[in-house]
Chains A and B, each alone.
Chain A
Amino acid sequence: MSDNLQQFVDLLPQLGEGILVTLQLTLGGAVLALLVAFTLGFGSRAHTRWARVPSRVVVEFFRGTSLVVQIFWLYYVLPLPPFYVELDPLACGILALGLNYGAYASEVVRGSINSVAKGQWEAAIALDLSPVHRLRRVIMPQAWPLMIPMFTNLLIQLVKGSALAAYISLHDLNFFTNELRERTSDTIFSYTVGLLCYFVVAYLLTLAMNALEVRAKNRLGTGPTLREVLRLAPVQTTADVGAGGPAPAATTASKGGDRDG
């Protein structure tokens, strides 16, 4: 075991690099996914068929074809004729992760916007706010806190999906794990270390997202400030966050205002 530790310490610089690559994939993928999510999410709600139909098709396409297929398609097929596009492996990974999880996240965007109470839209119309203004100042500030917990789930999924990078020649955390195993010939040790590293990354990202959620809710006037939460120690919501898996987390309960005729 002490031998293992020695090898582990020797490999620490590689571990740092591996985590860095995993984080680059994660953050790059997340930023791209967010862009994709808002574009397709709003596209799917558009009144004009010309925006709605293509958005739906793109969403279903990237959700329906597997992430594994997508990443290897970009890696193996894109450099071939007729495309001749040879992407840097990191770009390849970020693109696949961003498009795949962006498609899932667009459903979160759509669902969250739809679940803002109908009366809020109506009040904004009654005050004659312009359509863009309605969305920006009234609806989005209320939809955003609903999106965050589901975005957190997807972000963790994205971290997990990023482990594919080792198979497109990137030296990420997964690659490092295998490297450690080859050096120590101890499967249990090296994989426990590798998985724990992933766990820590996921845990820290979850904490950061929870902080974001607390802040967003506080702005809405429905929760404590981040400072209050931190003072009270453990974040109340951690137990509930992380529920749900890759695809399905996108369903949100809709609460509509009641009215009579």
Chain B
Amino acid sequence: MDETSAWSWEHAAAVLPDLLEGLQITVLATVVGMVIASVLGLVVAMVRRSGLRVVTIPVGFLVEFIRSTPLLVQLVFANLLFTQFPSLTIGCVVLGVHYATYMSEVYRAGIDAVPKGQWEAAVALDLPRSRTWGAVVLPQAIRNTLPGLGNYAVSMFKETPFLFAIAVVEMYTAAQQYGADTFRYMEAITMAGLLFLLVSYPTSLLVRRLENRLA
């Protein structure tokens, strides 16, 4: 352990393989989490549109509840509750469910943005309900939701470090472990932060371009 030098490039290099391994888990969790969030979010949005108060009220409350309580606490809770599953699985599912509550709002806005005339045209053509949704409304709505999806993917990526709390070795946890082993927190945590920036900033630029293209 080298107390005298503030920044050691050797340690910065040495932690990198661990971090890149962690990055794979981080990306995996983000991808799986977003797939769950996208599918579940759409289901929630459609259920909430159904107008059946017996369903919409409890679902509405649950969405509000999950959205306004900490992801961190939810992760720990789920991990304690479902000990039979691996932490990574639980992490992905909790991330997915948490973000599904955001995504359902994105879908809702996307569906609302489909002009009323489209619904009326579908009625005028006497299309069945499934075709109205599947062939007319959703294709247009989903286009509207792409920027939102991209934005949330970026923010989920930046929230995967919360998985440290359930001992999933994603990128931050890898840094933390290296720091604990070598007492070189400086290089480990700084490098982790920079790697997050290195991935998230270009991605958010891409999303912004997508946003402008679709606008």
A residues neighboring B (CB under 8 Å): 60-61, 63-70, 72-73, 76-77, 80-82, 156, 159-164, 167, 174, 177-178, 181, 187-188, 191, 194-195, 198-199, 202-203, 206, 242-248, 251
Contact = CB atoms under 8 A, between A and B. Distances in A.
B200 interface: yes
How would you classify the secondary structure of chain B's contact residues: helix, strand, loop or mixed? Answer: helix
B65 A72 contact: no
Chain B interface bracket (under 10, 10 to 19, 20 to 34, 35 or more): 35 or more
B186 interface: yes
A63 B204 CA distance: 10
A247 B154 contact: yes
B52 interface: no
A67 B68 contact: no
Contact of A68 (B164, B197, B204): B164
A243 B164 CA distance: 27
A66 B70 contact: no
Contact of B193 (A69, A81, A82, A167): A69
Interface centre among A161, A194, A247 (most CB of B within 10 A): A247
25 contacts: A63-B204, A64-B201, A64-B204, A65-B158, A66-B159, A68-B162, A69-B196, A70-B193, A72-B189, A73-B189, A77-B186, A80-B6, A81-B4, A156-B68, A159-B70, A174-B73, A191-B73, A198-B69, A203-B68, A242-B68, A243-B105, A244-B105, A245-B155, A246-B158, A248-B151
Interface in B53-108: 64-65, 67-74, 76-77, 80-81, 99, 102, 105
A77 B155 contact: no
How would you classify the secondary structure of chain A's contact residues: helix, strand, loop or mixed? Answer: helix
B206 to A, nearest CB: 13
A246 B102 CA distance: 9
Contacts of B162: 68
Given A80-B6, A177-B73, 16 more contacts: A60-B201, A64-B196, A64-B197, A64-B204, A65-B194, A68-B164, A72-B189, A77-B190, A81-B3, A159-B70, A194-B73, A195-B69, A198-B73, A202-B69, A242-B68, A248-B155
A162 B152 CA distance: 20
B33 interface: no
B71 A160 contact: yes
A188 B109 CA distance: 34
Contacts of A162: 70
